[in-house]
Amino acid sequence: TGKHIPTEKGMDHSLALLREGFRFVPNRLQRFDTDIFETRMMGGKKVVCISGKEAAELFYDNELFKRQGAAPKRIKESLFGVGGVQGMDGEAHRHRKHMFMELMTRESLKKIAAICREKWKQQATEWATKDSIELFPEVEKIMCRTACEWVGVPLWAKDLEVRTKDLSAMIDAFGATGPRHWKGRVARNRAEKWIRDIVERVRSGELHVEETKPLSIIAWHQDLDGNLLDKQTAAVEILNLLRPIVAIARFVTFGALALYDFPATKEKVREDDGNYTKWFVQEVRRYYPFGPFTGALAAKDIDWQGHQIKKDTLVILDIYGTNHKPELWSEPNRFKPERFEEWNGSPFDFIPQGGGDYDKGHRCAGEWLTVELMQTSLSFLTQELSYEVPPQDLSYSMARIPTHPSSNFIMKNITLQ
């Protein structure tokens, strides 16, 4: 009974996802002319995909969806880790999420922005001595140093390269099979060991860390029963800060691309009138592909607009497609920062880092931090540096999840203003 959910024929469409990447979900929504369809993936498992503002409202109803058991093993081995906040539900989730949200005060964000600015200065001083640099891996290093200092994790200069590469490889493994997935797993294992040892040294008193630092807060966090997190879980949660801060480098690189591809915006970011950089950053997060979708399991039988979704079905919310929906965004494929002047701030139509409520739901804990560091970075790029962009392949694959400009955004003749 109920309305038929358009269903893609065939036993398993995992390969199509690998081939089509960011276009997988939107392609099928268009084909079926709908906001909901069913397909099969991961060895024939039923998956229901939903898209749009109403879909996001449904998806972020805590009564209807749960996260425990939702993420595929492959994702936990590389991107998320095991035992972290992403896979928790109910009271336990709220308590753990509170630990993250407490780190995101205005004061704390100001602190990390100041650290980030300092790291940009140091790194850019080095660039000025070189013929050219690739922006993407350089910003990853800036973000790695920023993240470690803000969190309170000691980082030796000789380790900068390997720690940055490992944090980056975990992100890069998201939509991967084969070597890229394995690289992510190796990286996660090495990084977890690094952080487990640090947690142990904090707890034994061997490593002193200010008690306001995220490292101290997580190392001494008590669960609902008053127990400390086991070392491994603490490491997973500390990496849930370090890894995504490094991920901000992708958005910054796309921001640099936008400044180049839409030159009229560059002057406006440089001469920021108080709002423009914020709108620009929002538009970068809407326009460019980063997170394709997120998933949860139906906690009970659900009726959505007459469609029946059975309990325990894996439901995927279309992030990329929702941010490009013509009903929500006029001329969705035009880069237009000014559109954010009129945006009403809905928690369900602009969802590059998830939607709904930060404290009660699974919306990204680091969204404000991301916006803050993107603003810091793009202001620095436009106000403190001059550079040229030589001919190169700036295209980015829509099949690869996650993606970035092929050339990594090469800059030359860099001078500090």
Q: Which is nearer to ligand HEM, 243 or 268 (CB)?
A: 243
For 386, left (φ over 0), alpha (ψ -120 to 50), or beta? beta
Amino acid at 250: R
Binding residues for ligand HEM, how many (CB under 6 A)? 24
Q: How far apart are CA 103 and CA 285, in angstroms?
A: 22
How far is 303 from 36, CA to CA, in rounded Å? 12
Our CB check for ligand HEM shows the closer of 141 and 362 to be 362
Verify binding: residue 255, ligand HEM, rule CB under 6 A.
Answer: no
Is there binding between residue 254 and ligand HEM (CB under 6 A)? no
CB of 6 or CB of 347, closer to ligand HEM? 347
Q: From the CB of 103, what's the least distance to ligand HEM, in Å?
A: 8
Give least dist CB 38 to ligand HEM, A. 20
Residue closest to ligand HEM, measured at CB: 366
Among 255, 352, 380, 414, binds ligand HEM (CB under 6 A): 352
Q: Residues 362-401 vs ligand HEM: string with x where CB under 6 A? A: xxxxx--xx-------------------------------
Give the other-Cβ count within 10 Å of 96's Cβ: 21
Query: What is the DSSP pairing of strand 314-318 with strand 45-51?
Result: parallel
Q: Give, as one character, the DSSP assignment of residue 346.
A: -
* 86 is a contact residue toward ligand HEM (CB under 6 A): yes
SS3 315: strand
Both tokens of residue 187? 């990286």
The residue among 97 and 339 lying less far from ligand HEM, judged by its C-beta, is 97
Dmax over CA atoms of the chain, in Å, equals 69
Give the separation between CA 140 and CA 244, rounded to whole angstroms: 10
In terms of Cα–Cα distance, which of 71, 84, 97, 67 is closest to 192? 84
Pattern 281-320, ligand HEM, x by CB under 6 A: ---------xx--x--------------------------
353 binds ligand HEM (CB under 6 A): yes
Of 147 and 414, which CB lies nearer to ligand HEM in the complex structure? 147
3-state class of 134 per DSSP? strand
Q: Does residue number 52 form part of the binding site for ligand HEM (CB under 6 A)?
A: no
Contact (CB, 8 A) for 314 and 303: no
Binding of residue 233 to ligand HEM (CB under 6 A): no
Q: Interface with ligand HEM includes 151 (CB under 6 A)? A: no
* Tokens matching residue 245: 């801060």
Distance in angstroms (rounded) separating the CA atoms of residues 415 and 271: 19
Helices within 102-226 (DSSP H only)? 106-127, 135-151, 160-172, 179-204, 214-219
Kindly state the smallest distance separating residue 170's Cβ from ligand HEM, in Å: 12
- The nearer residue to ligand HEM, 148 or 414, going by C-beta atoms, is 148
Residue 108 in the binding site for ligand HEM (CB under 6 A)? no
Q: Does residue 163 touch ligand HEM according to CB under 6 A?
A: no
Q: 402 by DSSP, 3-state: which? A: coil
The backbone torsions φ and ψ at residue 412, rounded to the nearest 5 degrees and listed phi first, read -135, 170
Q: Which is nearer to ligand HEM, 9 or 106 (CB)?
A: 106
**Does position 354 bind ligand HEM by CB under 6 A?**
yes
Report the Cα 55 to chain-centroid distance in Å. Answer: 20
The whole-angstrom separation of Cα 243 and Cα 164 is 9
**Residue 139 binds to ligand HEM (criterion: CB under 6 A):** no
**Nearer of residues 353 and 414 to ligand HEM, judged by Cβ:** 353
247 binds ligand HEM (CB under 6 A): yes
Residue 78 lies near ligand HEM (rule: CB under 6 A): no
Binding site for ligand HEM (CB under 6 A): 85-86, 97, 100, 240-241, 244-245, 247-248, 251, 290-291, 294, 352-354, 362-366, 369-370
